Amino acid sequence: MTVPRRRFLQLTAGAVALPAVSRSAQAQGYPTRPVRLVVGFPAGGVGDVLARLIGQFLSDRLGQPVVVENRPGAATNLATEAVARSAPDGHTLLWITAANAINASLYEKLSFNFIRDITPVASVVRGPGVMEVHPAVPAKTIPEFIAYAKANPGKINLASSGIGTVSHVAGELFKLMAGVDMVHVPYRGAAPALNDLIAGQVQVMILPIISSVEHIRAGRLRALGVTTLNRLDVVPDIPTVAEFLPGYDVSDWTGIGVPSNTPIEIVERLATETNAALADAKIKARLAQLGSLLMPMSRAAFGTMIAEETAKWAKVVKAAGIKPA
């Protein structure tokens, strides 16, 4: 049977339009079942607590449970891969962190491309850090510490919570910008590294302010500078590292992403509801208790920030010769 040309064109146009119509209908009824929020960390940590806090708010707003699924392993790469391979229908979300930007260059053979395969939905918070030393270190300021490190090359131990973590690359960035030589000592997590720093087994580390402030106030550790561009309200007397090394800016940060090709209507709905969480008084108060700074921004700005962070850490990973464990 021969199909008239006009009819053929009508059928072809209809076939092309079907996916778009299907996606639009899918978005209008979203969500139709529980939503998974995949987190690349074990339960109980600050990142997990943050995700559960935002997830509960989204549950109330979306009318479906948002279930946090902890999938630790391979420095969050297992979680990212699971989301990148999931259906782009808004029912599987990724808890994005700074680790995603670092891993893009740290790992050479990933089965996904984070920038290509994950669409940023909404930024959530920024976790500021602080550079601190054991009190036995004879330096009370960043300039004094740099001078001390230059006078003792290779004799200062720089602890981190693990190879390729934010605390590690933050330390490597400091070394590069200050022109100092320190020995990197990776630990399996921040807690054992902090314990050894307090005990004087290592001399310096960059840690989240929330896990350090009480030790600083008690005199067990000495803060040299916070890692954000601006001073922090919680410790206003501590200068920024950037006051002595202009441009030094390091924070852990979080947000939400979805698989690429997720309908824009769903992406925008999730962005709207997440931003509503950041404006909620109870959520804001709880985030402040966790030592996090709100980081609301447009989806475009969040995407730009991720790209910039990915490029920044790629330079550090290459210059420092960092290899995954």
Which CATH number goes with the domain that contains 118?
A: 3.40.190.150
Are 85 and 158 part of one and the same domain?
no
Instruction: Give the per-residue pLDDT at 45.
Output: 84
Are 138 and 115 part of one and the same domain?
no
Residue that finishes a domain, picked among 189, 211, 243: 243
Domain assignment present for residue 3? The answer is no
Domain assignment present for residue 23? The answer is no
Are 116 and 195 part of one and the same domain?
no
Instruction: Give the per-residue pLDDT at 44.
Output: 87
Are 108 and 145 part of one and the same domain?
no
Are 160 and 299 part of one and the same domain?
no
Nearest to 312 by CA among 142, 98, 114: 98
Domain assignment present for residue 193? The answer is yes
Instruction: Give the per-residue pLDDT at 195.
Output: 96
Cβ-count burial of 132 within 10 angstroms (0-12 exposed, 13-18 middle, 19+ buried)? Answer: buried
Are 121 and 68 part of one and the same domain?
yes
Question: b/e for 243-261, b at 16 or more Cβ within 10 A?
Answer: ebbeebbbbbbbbbbbbee
Instruction: Give the per-residue pLDDT at 46.
Output: 85
Are 121 and 134 part of one and the same domain?
no
Q: Which CATH number covers residue 146?
A: 3.40.190.10
Q: Number of structural domains, the chain? A: 2
Residue that finishes a domain, picked among 221, 243, 265: 243
Are 237 and 191 part of one and the same domain?
yes
Instruction: Give the per-residue pLDDT at 272.
Output: 97
Instruction: Give the per-residue pLDDT at 10.
Output: 52
Domain assignment present for residue 9? The answer is no
Are 149 and 227 part of one and the same domain?
yes
Domain assignment present for residue 256? The answer is yes
Q: Report the predicted TM-score, pTM, of the whole model to 2 decimal places.
A: 0.88
Q: Range of 213's domain? A: 128-243
Instruction: Give the per-residue pLDDT at 65.
Output: 98
Are 260 and 116 part of one and the same domain?
yes
Domain assignment present for residue 1? The answer is no
Are 315 and 178 part of one and the same domain?
no
Are 188 and 277 part of one and the same domain?
no
Question: 92 with 157: CB under 8 angstroms?
Answer: no
Chain centroid offset of residue 132 CA? 21
Q: Which residues of the chain have pLDDT under 70?
A: 1-26
Residue that finishes a domain, picked among 202, 224, 243: 243
Question: 261 with 46: CB under 8 angstroms?
Answer: no
